[in-house]
Amino acid sequence: MSEDEYARRGIDLDKPNPARVYDYILGGQLNYAVDRMFADQVLAAQPNARERARLNRQWLRRVIRFGMDQGIRQFLDIGSGMPTVGHVHEVAQAIDPTARVVYVDNEPVAVAHSEIVLENNENAAMVHADAEFPDDVLEHEITEMLLDLDQPVMVVMALFVHFIPDERKPARLIAAYRDALAPGSYLAMSSATYEQQSAGTARAVAMYQKSANPVTPRSAAELRALVDGFEIVDPGIVFIPEWRPDDPADVPAEPAESGGLALVARKN
């Protein structure tokens, strides 16, 4: 692809992108040299970053199965990133092929590859939009085609909200999505945290602070404040591998080493 084509697609190869960095850390191929260079620096500061990414992806799968168990058949994945194995539509549609999934991202590579992966899936699609503008997401023709907001939906924000600093009002953003949802809907959220973290986490966060997408780790109390108007389901706000593990043996000896907190909350 030429430099002009990169520019036309809005792909900035001068700065690392969180979705592409995460793809590289997970072992994917949808990334560029600038992303790999940054990711390698993060891995040097936080050697277990790949394990952290794996634990978050496992949590995502558990969350989708939980939603399906509650009768949810519609999913809105905010900041979905790259289409990797075990993504929302694969988990949900393995249980019920009629489950509908809308992915949302503003990263052109993530959008382009998601569209390719989902090309022949009539019940899942990608919306190219900035999720910080909920109306652009909720009123998008694809969202309106696939999701019935008068029925319960699970909104997924996996490692998304920590890219929204306090000055951009994340609580107001989440409230906008909440207010659009029918009673019985769910919000699933994971986020980086400083709670019980090592110096390596601080070093990795400091690297992101110098990037185009700074990270704002949050405490359990701060996450609880963000989901005002929802009822947090058991086991509450916990370290990512502690959220309803398939097997107690899956929880590492030091759950805090996952580097993140997770929750699922219900709109009553």
In a domain, 61, yes or no: yes
Q: Is the pLDDT of residue 9 over 80?
A: no
User: In this structure, are residues 66 and 72 in contact, taking their beta carbons and an 8 Å threshold?
Assistant: no
DSSP letter for each residue of 175-211:
HHHHHHSPTT-EEEEEEE--TT--HHHHHHHHHHHTS
Smallest CA-to-CA distance from 238 within 171, 191, 198 is with: 191
Stated length of the chain: 268
Count the alpha carbons within 13 Å of 58 in the hemisphere toward its beta carbon: 19
Tell me if the bond preceding 235 is cis, omega within 30° of 0. yes
Q: CA angle, corner 102, sides to 244 and 155, nearest 5?
A: 40
pLDDT value, residue 77: 98
Average pLDDT over residues 177-205: 91
Q: Tally helices (H) and strands (E) across the chain.
A: 11, 8
Q: pLDDT tens-digit profile of 216-249?
A: 999 999 999 999 999 999 999 999 999 999 999 9
Q: Residue written as tokens 């503003």?
A: 106
pLDDT band, very low/low/confident/very high, at 5 (cuts 50, 70, 90): very low
- Asked whether residue 2 carries a pLDDT value surpassing 50, the answer given is no
Mean local confidence (pLDDT), 107-116: 86
Q: Give the span between the Cα atoms of 175 and 171, in whole angstroms.
A: 6
Helix (H) or strand (E) holding 232: strand 231-232
pLDDT of residue 23: 84
**In this structure, are residues 171 and 226 in contact, taking their beta carbons and an 8 Å threshold?**
yes
| β-sheet bridge partners, residue 245 | none
Q: Provide the pLDDT confidence category of residue 10 given band limits of 50, 70 and 90.
A: low
Which helix (H) or strand (E) segment is 101 a member of? strand 100-105
pLDDT digits (tens, 9 = 90+) for 123-175: 999 999 999 999 999 999 999 999 999 999 999 999 999 999 999 999 999 99
What is the domain count for the chain?
Answer: 1
pLDDT (0 to 100) of residue 3: 43
In-domain check, residue 167? yes
Per-residue burial over 55-90, b = 16 or more CB atoms within 10 Å of its CB, e = otherwise:
bbbbbbbbbbbbbbeeebbbbbbbbbbbbbeebbbb
Return the closest-CA partner of residue 172 out of 218, 134, 222: 134
Whole-number mean pLDDT of the chain? Answer: 90
Domain that holds residue 123: 55-197+215-267
On the question of pLDDT at 54 being above 70, the answer is: yes
18 is a domain residue: no
In a domain, 19, yes or no: no
For residue 11, pLDDT over 70 is answered with no
Q: How far apart are CA 117 and CA 105, in angstroms?
A: 15
| Average pLDDT rounded to a whole number, residues 48-68 | 93
Q: Looking at residue 174, which CATH number applies to its domain?
A: 3.40.50.150
Residue 220 located in a structural domain? yes
More confident residue, 32 or 11: 32
The set of residues, in sequence order, having a beta carbon less than 8 Å from that of 233 and lying 6+ positions away, is: 186, 264, 265, 266
* Average pLDDT rounded to a whole number, residues 167-186: 97
CA angle 157, 163, 168 (to 5 degrees): 105
Place of tokens 């989901």: 227
Q: What is the pTM of this model?
A: 0.88
In a domain, 137, yes or no: yes
**Residue at 62 is within a domain:** yes
- Whether 94 is covered by a domain: the verdict is yes
